[in-house]
Structure 1
Amino acid sequence: MTTTTFSDISIYCPPLQEPRVKCKMEKPIIGKCSDQHWFAILISFLLCFIFLCFDYSAFLGPNNGVASLVNKQANSLVIMKNKTKNLVSQNPSRDNTKEMKSNSDSCSGRYIYIHNLPSRFNYDLLKNCLSLTRGTDSNMCKYMVNLGLGPEIKDPDGVLSNKSWFSTNQFLLEVIFHNRMKKYECLTNDSSLASAIFVPFYAGLDVSLVLWNSNIKVRDSSGLDLVQWLVKKPQWKKMWGRDHFLVAGRISWDFRRQFGNESYWGSNFRFLPESYNMSMLSVESSAWKNDFAIPYPTNFHPSKDTEIYQWQSKIRGKTRKHLFTFAGAPRPELENSIRAKVIDQCRASSACKFIDCSSSGGNNCENPVNILRVFQSSVFCLQPPGDSYTRRSIFDSILSGCIPVFFHPGTAYSQYQWFLPKNRTKYSVYIPVRNVKEWDVNVEKVLLGISKEEESAMREEVIRLIPKIIYSDPRSKLESSEDAFDIAVKSVLERVEKVRNVIREGGDPSVGFADPDHYKYTFSDNYS
């Protein structure tokens, strides 16, 4: 379509009728025609000018005439330009720029392809849930309902709110994540379009079957079978697995047995050469660069944004009668555990509430309502390391608006970097423990030294973090809030894109995956 400009506008007058008296053209007309003929020509020009070029309504007012005609044509051109512009924007043609094409596809750069694994790597584990009880204190089958969220919590006392609360088992993160991924808005069946490849291997559930098996070949068999299956797929050869990622509901160390000795813990899955190229998201990461920590699943799985806002409003207005709280059990078998000292200090203080989660403590921790009720009435929640650096209690604490108190950087600061503020003082208290045997810090005195203004600011930051550390119900979708799943997926896509850029620029794509200097790196106890 040719665009017309104002320079293209011209006033068209039809040619004058030829005069009845013919004039010879060899010489100028003035020299040949009579005065009458010349007068007739002038009159004809005048009539053309008045009746043909002017709007005849010019005689009715000053706003008409030639100026009116030009304005009308100019306005018509502006309208035509706008219509053309709108038509192009609404119906982009094949000749449009690449930028217009990408803008029209909201999933550009976000497509994910899910491998269709043999059922032995995921669904069969759920069918055989009775065998998953080894190493846990309860039957895992009851937690499989509601797409892995577990049974709905009965709360007659109103400690919780609405119907978004479930008895969720902390080891079922990989099931919850997989069910969320099935509803992801940018899935594709064409792996060539995918920016990342998801491997729905229930690694945590699988390894839980064999962690206590003395035969290390049995412990390692599933991980080896998985990578052998993956490397045969065309999707693997695209980036040799560096665009692949999986999720585990157990800590990373359960998959990083460094030596071929049965006395060492775990499987060797993450030390397989092919596994080096994949990223793993787990509830606790290791020091290796291809591991990333994502939150433990809590009991709160909202289906609407309003349920999050209502909960935040509820806990914001809570009266907190306890200065600090600890929920847990001692770890006498762990020589360097600070648990015993924390429990002793809590029991000795009238400002502390202790919830005994040991088998002799009446199993008060089995019902999440018992934990959340106390956390909601506490200003600070103590989070010392247990069997590993991290605890699910961290996220129960945040969910309750209770400011977490950490004693080791590996409990949160070195872990959930996609989810928690880099400035740890905004949302938590840190009491370093450099030597457990010599540790003589009085927790109560430290917490009493925090001003009410600092306390209020930290609690507000904790409440603000709630959407980021929960997993919404897979059967619905939040409209405006980003939950832990959304943040994790976005971060994986950004990571894979960085690797692609390294490859495009001719760099080493193994950077950020295999880490030959991993033995030099540990979580520092002298974190400041």
Structure 2
Amino acid sequence: MVSPAGGGVLPATGWYDTNQFTLEVIFHARMRRYGCLTADASRAAAVYVPYYPGLDVGRYLWGFSNGVRDLLAEDLAEWLRGTPAWAAHGGRDHFLVGGRIAWDFRREDGGGEGSQWGSRLLLLPEAMNMTALVIEASPWHRRTDVAVPYPTYFHPWRPSDVSSWQRDARRARRPWLFAFAGAGRGNGDDHDRHHGGGVVRDRVIAQCARSRRCGLLRCGARGRRDDCYDPGNVMRLFKSAAFCLQPRGDSYTRRSVFDAILAGCVPVFFHPGSAYTQYRWHLPRDHAAYSVFVPEDGVRNGTVRLEDVLRRVSAARVAAMREQVIRMIPTVVYRDPRAPSARGFTDAVDVAVDGVIERVRRIKQGLPPGGDDDDDHRWDAYFDTQ
């Protein structure tokens, strides 16, 4: 991670050009310094497995056999089965962190599209007993998957770093009504669960491009330098907008959701799988308190004009949602792993570990691991049947 200049938008310290797939490294570094560690597994509330599955499979995404993709995961499973810690509860108290979306660890062999991508880690019997913290969870595997925030660019050292940034986000001038940063998809298949947002995403971009009230940062455009990986460019745009559009792309979720929260920009979602069914430990259950939901169908068929929808949101409600978003910042960022624990500063790792401990406690008691969330099916109609 290299600290960027930021073009005057970012403070001189605490900001890094962090790749969105580095969660495993960040989490492991934090766990090594965690304040409540024990070497005695019999006394542990939960057992962390320091494996980097995303970095592992990321080496073999193209041009390798499935045997190569699965080798290290299968070695891990064999090793875990032989440990005393595993024998105590069959792995039900173990958890690992995967810095990619769950689909990358749940390859279905059989000659279809999925057989050429990812590993079978989360399909192994051992993994099915564990909790997997991933940046995007499967809605059909809640007993295993738990979504945690993507890494953003901000890794504060102390509480004052966060409070200073929050003040800056509150004072930011926001001349744009709404904004979008990203690339188009145009894959033509808007119902496949892996790539279902392509058509809607392209139409969102088109609406933004036509509006004089929308700020647009195109990523990967032909003949143009890709500026979307520059933290300063992204923060400059999002801090200048009241709303940030978050359509699906290659999968349900985007790192951009957390970039928007970091900028104090109210996210606009088009599918519940982009946030509402994902980050249950880190985002408020009252979705309307911090975001706007526009169902995809209206955008897809051209009956919804986003500028009109967002203009109808009252100034008072926008202010209230923005304040809620800014208050959420501490618990969705990952503190600098080198920083000492700070009283009064609960970050995304702290929230995740507390959630795992409660989840394991419920499992040991024979209760549903997700509590009341397991009974919440109000978004089921938005998902394809498994």
Task: State TM-score, norm by structure 1.
Answer: 0.66
AA in 1 matched with 2:242 = V
Please report how far the alpha carbon of residue 152 of structure 1 lies from its aligned counterpart in structure 2 after TM superposition: 1.3
Identify if the C-alpha distance between structure 1 residues 203 and 526 changes in structure 2 by more than 3 Å, giving closer, same or farther.
closer
Return the alpha-carbon distance in structure 2 between the equivalents of residues 352 and 492 of structure 1: 40
Which residue matches 1:307? 161
1:414 maps onto 2:277 in alignment: yes
Return the alpha-carbon distance in structure 2 between the equivalents of residues 235 and 442 of structure 1: 56
Is the contact made by 2:253 and 2:275 (CA closer than 8 Å) also made in structure 1? yes
Return the alpha-carbon distance in structure 2 between the equivalents of residues 339 and 187 of structure 1: 44
Return the alpha-carbon distance in structure 1 between the equivalents of residues 63 and 89 of structure 2: 35
Which residue matches 1:241? 91
Which residue matches 2:207? 345
Q: Alpha-carbon deviations, 1:385-405, whole Å to 9, x = none?
A: 010110000000000000000
Is the contact made by 1:345 and 1:443 (CA closer than 8 Å) also made in structure 2? yes
1:525 maps onto 2:382 in alignment: yes
**1:246-261 pair list within 5 angstroms:** 246-261=96-111
Identify if the C-alpha distance between structure 1 residues 369 and 436 changes in structure 2 by more than 3 Å, giving closer, same or farther.
same
Please report how far the alpha carbon of residue 478 of structure 1 lies from its aligned counterpart in structure 2 after TM superposition: 2.6
Return the alpha-carbon distance in structure 1 between the equivalents of residues 210 and 100 of structure 2: 34
Which residue matches 2:374? none
Q: Which moved more, 1:334-343 or 1:162-171?
A: 334-343
Secondary structure class of the residue paired with 2:297? coil
Q: Alpha-carbon deviations, 1:430-484, whole Å to 9, x = none?
A: 0001376424210000000000010000000000000010000111133211100
Identify if the C-alpha distance between structure 1 residues 212 and 416 changes in structure 2 by more than 3 Å, giving closer, same or farther.
same
The counterpart of 1:191, out of the listed 37, 41, 56, is: 41
Identify if the C-alpha distance between structure 1 residues 422 and 158 changes in structure 2 by more than 3 Å, giving closer, same or farther.
same
AA in 1 matched with 2:312 = G
Identify if the C-alpha distance between structure 1 residues 198 and 334 changes in structure 2 by more than 3 Å, giving closer, same or farther.
farther
1:151 maps onto 2:8 in alignment: no
1:276 maps onto 2:90 in alignment: no
1:332 maps onto 2:186 in alignment: yes
Q: Alpha-carbon deviations, 1:190-236, whole Å to 9, x = none?
A: 12211111001100000111222452222222211110110000110
AA in 2 matched with 1:468 = T
Please report how far the alpha carbon of residue 260 of structure 1 lies from its aligned counterpart in structure 2 after TM superposition: 4.0
Is the contact made by 2:207 and 2:305 (CA closer than 8 Å) also made in structure 1? yes
The counterpart of 1:486, out of the listed 333, 339, 350, is: 350
Please report how far the alpha carbon of residue 160 of structure 1 lies from its aligned counterpart in structure 2 after TM superposition: 1.2
Return the alpha-carbon distance in structure 2 between the equivalents of residues 439 and 187 of structure 1: 54
Q: Alpha-carbon deviations, 1:14-50, whole Å to 9, x = none?
A: xxxxxxxxxxxxxxxxxxxxxxxxxxxxxxxxxxxxx
The counterpart of 2:253, out of the listed 386, 390, 399, is: 390
Identify if the C-alpha distance between structure 1 residues 436 and 455 changes in structure 2 by more than 3 Å, giving closer, same or farther.
closer
Q: Alpha-carbon deviations, 1:335-373, whole Å to 9, x = none?
A: 212111111111110000110011424211121100101
Please report how far the alpha carbon of residue 428 of structure 1 lies from its aligned counterpart in structure 2 after TM superposition: 0.3
Return the alpha-carbon distance in structure 2 between the equivalents of residues 179 and 251 of structure 1: 21
For the aligned residue pairs, the C-alpha RMSD in angstroms reads: 2.0
Secondary structure class of the residue paired with 1:306? helix
Structure 1's consecutive aligned runs of 4 or more residues displaced over 6 angstroms after TM superposition are none
Return the alpha-carbon distance in structure 2 between the equivalents of residues 253 and 436 of structure 1: 26
AA in 1 matched with 2:362 = K
Return the alpha-carbon distance in structure 1 between the equivalents of residues 284 and 18 of structure 2: 26
Return the alpha-carbon distance in structure 1 between the equivalents of residues 136 and 383 of structure 2: 20
Return the alpha-carbon distance in structure 2 between the equivalents of residues 237 and 526 of structure 1: 37
Secondary structure class of the residue paired with 2:326? helix
Which residue matches 1:321? 175
Unaligned runs of 5+ in 1: 1-149, 514-519
Identify if the C-alpha distance between structure 1 residues 471 and 249 changes in structure 2 by more than 3 Å, giving closer, same or farther.
same
Identify if the C-alpha distance between structure 1 residues 437 and 447 changes in structure 2 by more than 3 Å, giving closer, same or farther.
closer
Is the contact made by 2:298 and 2:304 (CA closer than 8 Å) also made in structure 1? no
Q: Alpha-carbon deviations, 1:89-130, whole Å to 9, x = none?
A: xxxxxxxxxxxxxxxxxxxxxxxxxxxxxxxxxxxxxxxxxx
The counterpart of 1:438, out of the listed 280, 298, 301, is: 301
Identity %: 46
The counterpart of 2:138, out of the listed 286, 303, 307, is: 286
Identify if the C-alpha distance between structure 1 residues 262 and 525 changes in structure 2 by more than 3 Å, giving closer, same or farther.
closer
Identify if the C-alpha distance between structure 1 residues 334 and 221 changes in structure 2 by more than 3 Å, giving closer, same or farther.
farther
AA in 2 matched with 1:409 = P
The counterpart of 2:263, out of the listed 400, 414, 438, is: 400
Number of corresponding residues: 364
Unaligned runs of 5+ in 2: 191-197, 371-376
Is the contact made by 2:362 and 2:369 (CA closer than 8 Å) also made in structure 1? no
Which residue matches 1:211? 61
Q: Which moved more, 1:289-298 or 1:431-440?
A: 431-440
1:460 maps onto 2:323 in alignment: yes
Secondary structure class of the residue paired with 1:167? coil
Identify if the C-alpha distance between structure 1 residues 282 and 523 changes in structure 2 by more than 3 Å, giving closer, same or farther.
farther
Return the alpha-carbon distance in structure 2 between the equivalents of residues 397 and 214 of structure 1: 36
Return the alpha-carbon distance in structure 1 between the equivalents of residues 110 and 61 of structure 2: 14
**1:342-381 pair list within 5 angstroms:** 342-360=204-222, 361-381=224-244
Higher relative contact order (CA 8 A, sep 6+): 2
AA in 2 matched with 1:179 = A
Is the contact made by 1:216 and 1:262 (CA closer than 8 Å) also made in structure 2? no
Larger Rg: 1
AA in 1 matched with 2:185 = R
Please report how far the alpha carbon of residue 261 of structure 1 lies from its aligned counterpart in structure 2 after TM superposition: 3.3
Return the alpha-carbon distance in structure 2 between the equivalents of residues 284 and 227 of structure 1: 22
Is the contact made by 1:472 and 1:478 (CA closer than 8 Å) also made in structure 2? no
Identify if the C-alpha distance between structure 1 residues 335 and 262 changes in structure 2 by more than 3 Å, giving closer, same or farther.
closer
Is the contact made by 1:323 and 1:379 (CA closer than 8 Å) also made in structure 2? yes
Return the alpha-carbon distance in structure 1 between the equivalents of residues 355 and 178 of structure 2: 34
Return the alpha-carbon distance in structure 2 between the equivalents of residues 443 and 425 of structure 1: 17
**1:124-139 pair list within 5 angstroms:** none
